[in-house]
Each structure stands twice: as structure tokens, then as C-alpha cells.
């Protein structure tokens, strides 16, 4: 009897407290305007829902405070944008491990767009690239599991893992409406970022020497490697230069800034960030002791697979009249994520700012538009990917590549030749080649 008496007392006391809290919330809510965004009334709504779930939900194994809080945080962060996310302690530790060491993966940069998991670009010489994945491909399933309800963090976790394991991706290619399964073996991802540096064979009777180099992604040695290639091309008499950033998914921000420093004056603003608070305002500049190169005419090739760091480089050199852009509008991935650890070892990754080009053009969800628009067909894009593979061996593939024309590269060559002809005819314009004064 004493036991039941105590239980009844606790029950009534708890009920009275909940009733008082609930009634107080109702009174505050009634007194507040409909558009009120103050904390307490909304926190009371959340608390009431939490209480009802713990009280009435059928499965008591799913209603611990920790599980419900983590689920709420996941929904809260994923509802903001595709790049904000909640990480439980295990996920957060995995993210830290990935940034400190090598990891096994497929070599594809992925993002969420309109609720779909898509490939921004496959990195050259990686398993995903060799398998034939392309920019814009939509990942429908990972190892048979639908990506419909996956957030970006879940998808990346499933794509990464032990090297040597096979991951099967079910792909929809929007350009051809083709569905296909791609079994791909994970590998340690190491990519040479500067490739194919050479003087182009343009068959020009006037003897113009146009250099070319391709950056596949931005990592620590990229700017240094590019500098060496530019030295070699200048030693061969290069008069103009084409930088190919097509299907470059980005990489390290500082590397992208340093690449800009190869073509811009020292201490030149390249990009800046802005958020809701003053602390998120930050300006990124080229190095103060940067080396000055001749102001040769320059073009940059871009497409829908150019993202993040590639967009920063393209946007800066376009805004500062240092290069013309040829191709298609870039992907539009230009936001800053800050990672904040929470008291229990979990963390949130929160979008806190956006990148802006020197002329205050926002990159995120807008992309960088070309100076000269040159569109490739789906077949030409497939041939472009094929031309960059090192394992082309079949006679059919070799024959196909023999007839391939890189129309975007051709447009860039024509544009630079026009700039050089104009500069020769009007010497006073030579300092303004490829866009005018800095």
C-alpha cells in the first residue's frame, strides 16, 4: 500500500507539473503574435512532442532521450541545406580520421541537388573515372540500397571504406536516360593534379604558340607543380595559355588561391566570404611575395563539373579581367561549412558563409558563367572522358577518339588567336590582352 501510495503521489505530482508547463506554453503562445519566433513557445512545442513520443510510441526501444535528440538534430540540420549535417560521435571521429590520413574510395565528388545524389565529377585515374562514371550522373542505389532517403553524410560513408571492396552503384545518366549498374572496387585515392601540360598543335601558319594544362583537383602541391609546367612552356616560347578546369570538383581552398597567384599580382583579393555575423567575413588574397609572370593572353575551360575551388579560380580571373572563360556555367558549390563539436562528442557541420567573387558575384547555387558559351553534346562529353583515360585499348575506342573534336578547346584557341592578332595590330592594346587592365 505504501508503494502504491508513493507511486500515485509521484504520478499526480508529475501530471500537475506537465499540466502547468503545457498551460503556460499555451498562454504564452496565445499572447504572442502568430509570427512570433521567440524561443520559449517553440521550445514548449518541441518538449510537448518529445513527451508524447516517450509516453505513447509503440516501440520503447526507440524512444531514449539520446535517440530522439540525435534524430531531431539530424532532421534539423538536413532541413537547412544539403551541406549542413549532424554527426554522432562515431561519424565525427570518422570525419577526423579522413582528414588526417588516406582513405579508400571510388574517386568521385558527390553532392545533393533537388533531393538527388549526383556526381559532381569523377577524379581522373581513380576507380570511378576508369569505370566510366561522368559528371551529372545520378546515383539511385548504393549496393542495392536506395539513396532516396539518404543524406549526403550517409552516402559518403557508404561510398568510402576498405580498399579492395567492391561497391555497386546504380546510375541514371540524365543526358541519355540510361540506367546501369557499375561495380567499382575501392582504392586509396591519390591523384596527380596537373596533367597534359604542352604546347598545342593548332596547325597555325602564323606560328602562334598556345600552351595548355589541365588541373584535375586542387591539392597541396598543385600550385607548385603548375608553376614548373608554366616555366617549361614559357621556355618553349609560349605566347598564350589555356587552363582546363572542366570536371574539376575542387579541393583545398589555399591551393586554389595559390593557383590564382600564378596569374595575378601579389596581395590581390581573389575571393571573400560573408555570413550573418561579422566573424564570417574573410578576404583571401594571393601571396604578398608572389612571383610575377608575363601577362600572356589566357583562357579557362569550364563546365558543369567545375566546382568549388575551380569556380573560385575561374570567377576571380574572370572578374579581374585576367582570363576569358569558355564552356558552360559551373556547378555552383560555393558555401563555407564550420564544424563545431558538442559536449557529448557529437558535432554539427553548419553552413555559415558563402563565397563571393571580387565583383561580389555569389557562387553558391549560381555558378560562374562563361564569357564564351560553348556547349558539348552528351556524346562529346563521353568522348572527352574517354580521351582522358589512360587505359584506352580497344580498336573501337581508338577509332572513336580519332574522330573526336574538343569543340570547347577549339573555341578557346580561336579566341586567344583573335586576342593576339588584335594585340599585334594595335600595340597599345597588348597590355590589355585577354580582358584589359588588372
Q: What is the pLDDT of residues 152-211, one digit of tens each?
A: 878 988 998 889 999 999 999 998 899 999 999 999 877 789 999 999 987 766 678 999
Residues marked active site are found at 308, 319, 333
pLDDT of 103 reads 60
pLDDT in tens, 329-373: 999 999 988 889 999 999 999 999 999 999 999 999 999 999 999
Confidence band (pLDDT; 50, 70, 90) for 393? low
What the block records as the C-alpha cell of 8 is 500515485
What is the Cα–Cα distance from 82 to 350, expressed in whole angstroms? 10
Give the residues across from 215 on adjacent strands: 194
With beta carbons less than 8 A apart as the criterion, state whether 173 and 187 touch.
no
Q: pLDDT over 70 for what percent of the chain?
A: 86
Residues 6+ apart with CB under 8 A from 282: 272, 273, 353
Give the residues across from 336 on adjacent strands: 353
**Which of residues 258 and 401 earns the better pLDDT score?**
258
What the block records as the C-alpha cell of 384 is 572527352
Instruction: Give the number of residues written for the chain.
Output: 438
Does the pLDDT value for residue 26 go beyond 70?
A: no
Residues 6+ apart with CB under 8 A from 136: 118, 119, 173, 174, 175, 304, 305
pLDDT of 220 reads 86
pTM: 0.79
Whose CA is closest to 261, among 217, 317, 199? 317
Amino acid at each position: 500500500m505504501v508503494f502504491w501510495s508513493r507511486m500515485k503521489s509521484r504520478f499526480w505530482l508529475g501530471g500537475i507539473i506537465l499540466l502547468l508547463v503545457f498551460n503556460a506554453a499555451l498562454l504564452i503562445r496565445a499572447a504572442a503574435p502568430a509570427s512570433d519566433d521567440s524561443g520559449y513557445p517553440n521550445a514548449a512545442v518541441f518538449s510537448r512532442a518529445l513527451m508524447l513520443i516517450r509516453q505513447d510510441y509503440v516501440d520503447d526501444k526507440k524512444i531514449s532521450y539520446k535517440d530522439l535528440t540525435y534524430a531531431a538534430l539530424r532532421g534539423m540540420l538536413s532541413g537547412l541545406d544539403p551541406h549542413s549535417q549532424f554527426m554522432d560521435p562515431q561519424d565525427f571521429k570518422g570525419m577526423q580520421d579522413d582528414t588526417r590520413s588516406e582513405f579508400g574510395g571510388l574517386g568521385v565528388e558527390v553532392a545533393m541537388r533537388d533531393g538527388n545524389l549526383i556526381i559532381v565529377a569523377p577524379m581522373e585515374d581513380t576507380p570511378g573515372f576508369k569505370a566510366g562514371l561522368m559528371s551529372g550522373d545520378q546515383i539511385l542505389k548504393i549496393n542495392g540500397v536506395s539513396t532516396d532517403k539518404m543524406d549526403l553524410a550517409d552516402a559518403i560513408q557508404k561510398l568510402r571504406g576498405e580498399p579492395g571492396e567492391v561497391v555497386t552503384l546504380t546510375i541514371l545518366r540524365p543526358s541519355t536516360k540510361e540506367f546501369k549498374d557499375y561495380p567499382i572496387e575501392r582504392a586509396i585515392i591519390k591523384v596527380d593534379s596537373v596533367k597534359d601540360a604542352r604546347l598545342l598543335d593548332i596547325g597555325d601558319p602564323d606560328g602562334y604558340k598556345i600552351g595548355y594544362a589541365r588541373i584535375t583537383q586542387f591539392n597541396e602541391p598543385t600550385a607548385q607543380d603548375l608553376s614548373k609546367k608554366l616555366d617549361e612552356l614559357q621556355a618553349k616560347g609560349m605566347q598564350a595559355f589555356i587552363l582546363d578546369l572542366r570536371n574539376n570538383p575542387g579541393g583545398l581552398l589555399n591551393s586554389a588561391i595559390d593557383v590564382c597567384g600564378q596569374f595575378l599580382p601579389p596581395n590581390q583579393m581573389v575571393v571573400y566570404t560573408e555570413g550573418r555575423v561579422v566573424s564570417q567575413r574573410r578576404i583571401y588574397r594571393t601571396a604578398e611575395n608572389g612571383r610575377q609572370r608575363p601577362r600572356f593572353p589566357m583562357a579557362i575551360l569550364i563546365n558543369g563539373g567545375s566546382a568549388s575551388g575551380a569556380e573560385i579560380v575561374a570567377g576571380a580571373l574572370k572578374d579581374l579581367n585576367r582570363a576569358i572563360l569558355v564552356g558552360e556555367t559551373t556547378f555552383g558549390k560555393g558555401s563555407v561549412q564550420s564544424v563545431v563539436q558538442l559536449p557529448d562528442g557529437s558535432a554539427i557541420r553548419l553552413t555559415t558563409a558563402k563565397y563571393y567573387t571580387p565583383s561580389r558575384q555569389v557562387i553558391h547555387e549560381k555558378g560562374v558563367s562563361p564569357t564564351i558559351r560553348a556547349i558539348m553534346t552528351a556524346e562529346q562529353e563521353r568522348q572527352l572522358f574517354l580521351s582522358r583515360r589512360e587505359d584506352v585499348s580497344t580498336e573501337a575506342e581508338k577509332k572513336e577518339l580519332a574522330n573526336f573534336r574538343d569543340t570547347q578547346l577549339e573555341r578557346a584557341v580561336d579566341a586567344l588567336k583573335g586576342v593576339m592578332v588584335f594585340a599585334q595590330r594595335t600595340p597599345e592594346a597588348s597590355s590589355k590582352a585577354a580582358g584589359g587592365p588588372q
